[in-house]
Amino acid sequence: MKFLILFAVLGVALSSESRKTYNGYQVFQTEVLDKSGATALQKLAVENDHFDFWSGIPSTGTKAELMASPEDIDALREFFTARNIGFKLKVPDVQNFIDEASKTNSKKEHNPESRYQLDWEDYYQFDVITDFIEELAQTYDYVSTQSIGKSFEGRDTKILSITKAAPGAPIIWLETGMHAREWIGPAVVTYAIRELLENSENQKYIDNLNFHILPVANPDGYEYTFNGDRLWRKTRSETGSGLGCKGVDPNRNFGYHFGESGVSSSKCSDVYNGPEPFSEPETANIRDFLETLDSIPEVAFAFHSAAEILLYPYGYDYDVFPENIDEIVALGDEFVDTLNAVNGMTFENIPSTDLYPCAGTSHDWYKGVLGSRFAYTLELRDQGYGFVLPPQQIVPSGEETWAAIKVLLDKVLE
């Protein structure tokens, strides 16, 4: 097709070590897609590297949001028009959108009376989050941190463990920061950690459950979003790409039905799944840690953004569900009802494939291989901002999510 000739080599731009800006980039939102439109966009997502799907790979009955570079805008419009896909301009200039969404009043001196810098009024880099969990480990004798291994660039991937409960107590595993640009995940999970440890109303959970929490699963990518490319998604590993494209989508790199759907073999794609399962040290570290625990986590929960939905397995193919699907759905319904009641949100509980089929995800592996009783992925707030949710929304997002997490914990305590 002639529009393909117009595409700039986005992989080269992303491989640059200078800070990437998005001046002139635009985001388009489609109408609700019929089967034909969804199929066309699904094919585009896995066969072409030059558009960023902000809302994930689309499916029938959903809207898609795609970002295009200035060089590719006309080509994307032509693609929509040729396939009778209605669309509108959502974000006229992505860099302006990022700059406006990032404004905050919290650029202030650290409060010397606070034990840690983290304050949930802004987003913070990897070292600040690590310092936060280290400080908690020094404060509580039943809290510890440990590195479960190094990232590709040599950063310690650290978890926080809360193990006041007796050995053999049910285990809760919480994981976020898998996709680098989804800053709201680490912010919400650290908010939940604070609530768990510093709110006396939650003591029953500490007394009866053991927690292992990973607040930044992809530290290299996360750090790169602060100093290189705000919208970077993948890890930062070398792939051998002739175009210099780096990284693998870690949430396509887990070893359960690896590579079967929702992935690309192009090393420049945001959904490149890697050469083999657990090729990334970040995902291999998670596997190795969880497989050494003395029991299987009762709950294994991943936090992503931004679609305002709770996803349950399996995601690798349509109409394939775990054996205890009824209790998974029932608990998920209670989770979203509780979340929505806090701030009037409208989250839904849906099968993963209703968002889009994709294989090699963490929650599929947690359920299908590890064997956790409950495995979910929560897609946190969008509110029209996608991956650049303003920091003013951290606290309300934390409030509603923590209320819903307690539903899971209460279920395990029954």
Residue pointed to by tokens 């996608």: 386
CATH code 3.30.70.340 region(s) in the chain: 2-12+20-95
pLDDT at 102: 76
Contacts of 321 (CB under 8 A, 6+ apart): 313, 314, 351
**Alpha carbon of 303 to those of 105, 171, 257: distances in Å?**
26, 17, 21
* Secondary structure (3-state) at 53: strand
Copy the structure tokens of residue 171: 């285990």
With CA atoms as reference, report the closest residue to 27 among 231, 273, 246.
231
Question: What is the tens place of the pLDDT at every residue in 354-368?
Answer: 888 899 999 999 999
Q: Which residue has the higher pLDDT, 107 or 398?
A: 398
pLDDT tens-digit series, residues 254-301: 999 999 998 999 999 999 999 999 999 999 999 999 999 999 999 999
The pLDDT value given to residue 112: 63
Q: Which two tokens stand for residue 268?
A: 């420049």
Average pLDDT over residues 134-146: 97
Class of 2-12+20-95 in CATH: alpha beta
Closest CA to 37 of 70, 59, 67: 59
The model's confidence at residue 225, banded by pLDDT at 50, 70 and 90, is very high
Write the burial class of residue 82 (CB in 10 Å: 0-12 exposed, 13-18 middle, 19+ buried).
Answer: exposed
CATH 3.40.630.10 boundaries in the chain: 126-413
Give the closest residue to 53 by CA, choosing from 392, 281, 390, 358: 358
340 pLDDT above the threshold of 50: yes
CA separation for the pair 273, 248 (Å, rounded): 6
Would you place residue 174 in the very low, low, confident or very high pLDDT band (cuts 50, 70, 90)? very high
pLDDT on residue 10: 39
Exposed, middle or buried: residue 128 (CB in 10 Å: 0-12, 13-18, 19+)? middle
For residue 302, give both structure tokens: 């991943």
User: What burial class does residue 317 get, using C-beta atoms within 10 Å of its C-beta: 0-12 exposed, 13-18 middle, 19+ buried?
Assistant: middle
Query: Which of 65, 282, 298, 379 is labelled catalytic?
Result: 379
3 state DSSP class of 184: helix
- Which of 68, 65, 67 has the alpha carbon at shortest distance from 56? 65
CB atoms within 10 A of CB 204: 12
Residue 357 is predicted with a pLDDT of: 87
Taking the alpha carbons at both ends of the chain, their separation in whole angstroms is: 59
Q: Rg for the chain (alpha carbons), in Å?
A: 21
Q: Which two tokens stand for residue 69?
A: 């570079």
- Say yes or no to pLDDT of 113 above 70: no
pLDDT at 252 over 70: yes
Q: Give the pLDDT of residue 62.
A: 84
Residue 7 pLDDT > 50, yes or no?
Answer: no
Q: Is 357 exposed, middle or buried (0-12, 13-18, 19+ CB in 10 A)?
A: buried
- Summarize the confidence of residues 194-201 as an average pLDDT: 96
The predicted pLDDT at position 43 comes to 86
Strands, sheet with 87-91, edge to edge from the N-terminal-most edge strand: 52-53, 65-68, 26-30, 87-91
Half-sphere exposure of 10 (CA within 13 A, CB side): 25
pLDDT at position 19: 86
Query: With contact defined as beta carbons under 8 Å apart, do 95 and 21 qualify?
Result: yes
What gap in Å lies between CA 185 and CA 302, rounded to an integer? Answer: 9
User: Is 400 in the active site?
Assistant: no
The model's confidence at residue 84, banded by pLDDT at 50, 70 and 90, is very high
Residue from 88, 12, 10 nearest 49 by CA: 10
Rounded to an integer, the average pLDDT of 186-212 is: 97
**Tokens at residue 79, please?**
């693609």
Tokens of 340: 């929505």
| pLDDT at residue 13 in the model | 39
Determine the Cα–Cα distance for residues 160 and 320; give it in Å rounded to an integer. 33
How far apart CA 1 and CA 64 sit, in angstroms, is 22
Residue 246 pLDDT > 50, yes or no? yes
CA distance 402 to 317: 30
Quote the pLDDT of residue 104.
58
Class for the domain spanning 126-413: alpha beta
36/40 Cα distance (integer angstroms)? 6
What average pLDDT score do residues 403-410 get? 98
| Residue 179, pLDDT above cutoff 90 | yes
Report, as an integer, the average pLDDT of 329-347.
98
Answer positive or negative: Cα dihedral of 96, 98, 100, 104: negative
* Percentage of residues in the chain having pLDDT higher than 90: 80
Partners of 167 in the β-ladder:
none
Distance CA 233, CA 178 (A): 8
| pLDDT tier at 105, thresholds 50, 70, 90 | very low
Residue where the block lists tokens 């920061």: 177
